[in-house]
Structure 1
Amino acid sequence: MPRTTDSNTSLSLTASSLSALYPESLSGEEALNALSSQTLNGLNDGATLTLTTAVATHLTTTLHNDALTRPMDALVAEIRQLPADATAERYQLVLKPWLWWLTLASNNRVFQNLSTSDIVTTIFKAHGFTDFLLKLSGTYTPREYCVQYGETDFAFVSRLLEEEGIFWFFTHEDGKHTLVLGDSNDAFVPIPNGPKVSYLGQQLGERELHGIRSGQVCVQAVAGVYQATDYEFTTPTTSLYSQAEAVAGPRSMYEHPGSYNAKARGDALTKQRVDGLRSQEKRFVGESDCRWLVPGHWFTLTGHDDSTLNIDWVVTAVTHEASHDSYRNRFEAIPKATPFRPARTTPKPRMHTQTAIVVGKSGEEIWTDEYGRIKLQFPWDRDGKNDEASSCWVRVVLPWSGKGFGMQFVPRIGQEVIVTFIDGDPDRPLVTGCVYNGDNALPYALPANQTQSGIKTQSSKGGGGFNELRFEDKKDAEEVFLQAQKDLKINVLNDTTATIGHDETLTVQNTRTRTVKEGDETVTLEKGKRSVTIQTGSDNLDVKDSRTVTVGADQTHSTGGNYTHKVTGDYSLTVDGNLTIKVTGTLTLQSGGSFTIKSGADLAAEASTSISQKAGTSLSNQAGTSLENKAGTTMTNDAGISLTNKAAASQTVDGGGMLTIKGGLVQVN
């Protein structure tokens, strides 16, 4: 590529699109974990430059010290014309590293199960940048859920690197600058052209005697202890407290949340935070004309009167002032022996309440895990596919929860939910409720049913049914409605009391079974009638012990068919008044043993046609005073062996027409 230079200059440049530009001056600054910015003033005494094609192209400015050089590569971020003079056109260029281009893009998106290095390199490649080098010695646990929200890509990358304690800087060559990511001081490299830099003081020296012209040590107070803790809901009683000491001293920094969910992770982060405090404790600041001082590079100081300063130092920041014939800088450095961790200066977005749609696996209506967590699709997430991979598992707030007790309602796929964020952290979403929308209508149409409230579920999978508990609060039409789509099971471990102020109607479509396992059952009808109607079928009553029926007034029993009453023991019938048995057919009284009919007064047996008394052995009719057998026409007393009619006083046998006494032997005495 063409180069404009002079052997006596301190500054030259290489720029394919700006080859005719002559550099006049360069100023700017570089620092660890900071975007450099250089301002280059130049002139052109030839053809007019094409500005539009120069933006975003590489431009390498080179600092010279005779044969030794130090390239500073960047991309042209801005170019402007300055007022021209009589001899040339003048231009001012703003130069930025390729990482600065990430400040021009912002996004809202979700990364899942990726380590920090995987996330940042994915973003670099998405922008088309591959000039980066990972010099990481630590192990980085994948982030289960990491959200970029309203941040530029650069701010997001910077924040993640700061959280992990990863620093970055650039190395330069002609036409290229490479981003180096490191997590230990081993990632730092020596300055160009050898690590030794002399301390020259204010003595005037030749150009080749480039070195540090002045330098002072700066020591500042830092906290002595760093403490942090956090909370992991899967192990709620486990302490995640971690502590590390930076220097001796009573001051401590305490942070919650510590942004970790495991003790080992907390200990590692706490150690990193302490290293960050130590990085601030001691600095070496000064001015020099050494062109080789580059952030992220280390040098060995020599020649200082204070021998304790003649050690290895890591450059953390440099401010350049260069022209075509001079160069000076101001710099800061820390001891190379001190572990460096970047300060966490990039703020994490604080998210407020949002809404999201519940998502899950295709073909499912409910998608949850053992903790009742769900997956979400946020409206701002352009990369999510509305499936089980759209988010991490998100916990759901319920009005009541405990150890094996509480409320349980799992939001279902397609529902819109309210999402808040613990401590405003985008990486810690929490579902706090559900809302209706244009697709998900309320179960009771409004405002027509504005007095109704309740709970209505939906059968899954496939819908078509529901369980419901509904309250109607309309004046004079109040109602509590309960529907079980299939079974209703009630388990009462002690008493149940129900008071019904008016009517009760129970309709059972199929079988009804009621079992009282132990104790009594009492049914009291204080006033009114009780009616049991079996329209089709039979009525069976099985009492294993005794049964008592008491009727205070009349009792009527009507049987449309046969009536059978079977008693395996004794049967006693007591009637305080009269007993009438009326049989339109035949009445048979049969006893396997004795049969006694006893009347306290008269006993009359009357038949319209005949009465027959017959005994297999003997038949006795006996009266204390008189016994009369009388027939209107004929009366026959017949015994197979003997027949005795006996009266203690007198007996009359009278035949109005004829009296016949017949026997094999008749004895009248």
Structure 2
Amino acid sequence: MSNLNDVRFTFSTPADEAIQFDVVSFELTEGVSQLYRLEVELVSFADDANFATLLDHPALLTIWQQEQPVRHVHGLISSFEQGKTGHRRTRYRAIVEPQLARAGLQSDWRIFQHRPVPQLLEELFRERRWGTLTQYLVNPHQTREFCVQAGDLDLDFFWRLSAEEGLISIFEHSQGSHGVVQADQISQFGSLEGDPVLYVANRGGTARQPCLHDFRYREQVRTSIQVQRDYTFTHPRYNLEHTLYPRDMGNQGNEYERYDYPGRYKHDNAGKPFTQTR
């Protein structure tokens, strides 16, 4: 049976294969519907890393179990730093983020017409070259007559539209690329395969298999009632109001109401789903 002594890490930069790095340590932060961030501490026998072939270029962290790669983390180098040089080696530090992170460096003013949001997002990915976008959609998504990006950062615009439509985003990695995967039901992502993961609170010795050593449980009070209303000049007396009442609120109260006006919709078939995703 393999153990954690068989685990090793490699860091490669396809744009500059002349320099070889060894991984000292790394920290990877991931979450649902947020950008991942990989910080890697490196050393190399070379003390003349070429920043021009590293910064804003692809990088790959690979986790190996013996000779088998078990995890890839692919992205673009957003920050690269050269540190001290010792007797033989030089320290480096790299920050790797998804290509979508570059959307936080761009903004625009424009209007999109007669498109459902999933189609609009696909257009943005092609136009801005944010990589691949794969969508698994179950629910209907209404065509929007107008959709305005009013000076928003492209990244904020992407997250806002995704949240309004209830689209959940994650990232998938391979040896040579990474991409965004979206779904409007979290069950579309499937479930983790394999045996249950062990929780070992007191670490010691050599673990014979991967395990959790830190686990925390938390509950948080949130909005319990979502109410929104809008107005349409074609039916000025019609009350375009929709409400989502709480259920299964657990240990918190159910009287915390959020009221939004205008709800930014013109029809019931658009406003009702918004109460479920806002």
Shorter-normalised TM range: 0.7 to 0.9
What does residue 196 of structure 1 align with?
A: 196
Q: Work out whether residues 168 and 182 of structure 1, in 8 Å CA contact, stay in contact via their aligned partners in 2.
A: yes
1:451-530 equivalences in 2 (<5 Å): none
The answer as to 2:198 corresponding to 1:166 is no
Percent pairwise identity = 21
Pairs within 5 Å for 1:83-482: 83-191=84-192, 194=194, 196-204=196-204, 206-247=206-247, 249-273=254-278
1:238 positional shift = 1.0
Q: Which structure dedicates a bigger proportion of its chain to helix? A: 2
What is the match of residue 13 of structure 2? 15
Structure 1 residue 230: deviation in Å? 1.0
TM-score, scaled to structure 2: 0.87
SS in 2 for 1:246: coil
1:93-144 CA-partner distances (Å, limit 9, x unpaired) = 1111011111222211111111111221111111234422111212111211
Which string of whole-angstrom CA distances, capped at 9 and with x for unpartnered residues, describes residues 269-324 of structure 1? 11223xxxxxxxxxxxxxxxxxxxxxxxxxxxxxxxxxxxxxxxxxxxxxxxxxxx
Contact kept? 2:47, 2:89, Cα under 8 Å: no
CA distance in 1, matches of 2:36, 2:136: 21
Counterpart amino acid of residue 114 in structure 1? R
Cα distance in 2, alignment partners of residues 88 and 205 from structure 1: 30
Is the partner of 2:10 in helix, strand or coil? strand
Contact 1:226 1:244 in 2 (8 A): yes
Per-residue CA distance 1:341-365 (angstroms, 9 max, x = gap): xxxxxxxxxxxxxxxxxxxxxxxxx
- Structure 2 segments unaligned to the other structure (5+ residues): none
Shift of 1:206: 3.1
Whole-angstrom CA distance in 2 between matches of 1:208 and 1:18: 36
- The residue number in structure 2 matching 1:402 is none
- Structure 1 SS opposite 2:240: coil
Letter in 1 for 2:71: R
Deviation at 1:65, TM superposition (A): 4.4
Q: Mind listing any 5+ residue stretches in structure 1 that lack a counterpart?
A: 1-6, 274-669
Query: CA contact under 8 A between 1:18 and 1:49: conserved in structure 2?
Result: no
CA distance in 1, matches of 2:131, 2:64: 28
- The alpha-carbon deviation at position 180 of structure 1 amounts to 0.4
Name the structure, 1 or 2, with higher relative contact order (CA <8 Å, separation 6+): 2
Q: How far has the Cα of 1:91 moved from its partner?
A: 1.6
CA contact (8 A) 2:16 2:53 kept: no
Conserved 8 A contact 2:103-2:155: yes
* CA–CA separation in structure 2 for the residues paired with 1:224 and 1:37: 32
Q: Which amino acid aligns with 2:262?
A: P
For 1:162 and 1:223, locate their aligned partners in 2 and report how far apart those are by CA, in whole Å.
16
Task: Report the count of equivalent residues.
Answer: 266
Larger Rg: 1
Mapped partners of 2:196, 2:132: distance in 1:
28
Shift, 1:62, TM fit = 1.8
Q: Is the 8 A contact 2:164 2:277 kept in 1?
A: no
Partner SS for 1:208: coil
Contact 1:10 1:65 in 2 (8 A): yes
2:218 alignment partner AA: C
Partner secondary structure for residue 42 of structure 2: strand
TM-score (norm 1): 0.38
RMSD between aligned alpha carbons? Answer: 2.2
Q: Which residue type is aligned with residue 144 of structure 1?
A: E
Change beyond 3 A, Cα 1:170–1:264: same
Q: Is the 8 A contact 1:40 1:92 kept in 2?
A: yes
For the residue of structure 1 that corresponds to 2:129, the secondary structure is coil
The structure-2 alpha-carbon separation of the partners of 1:98 and 1:267, relative to structure 1 and needing over 3 Å to count, comes to same
Structure with greater proportional strand content: 2
Deviation, 1:80, is 2.1
Q: Residue 79 of structure 2 aligns to which amino acid in structure 1?
A: E
- Runs of at least 4 residues of structure 1 off by over 4 A? 65-68
Residue pair 1:230, 1:256 contacting (<8 A) in 2 also: yes
Letter in 2 for 1:86: H
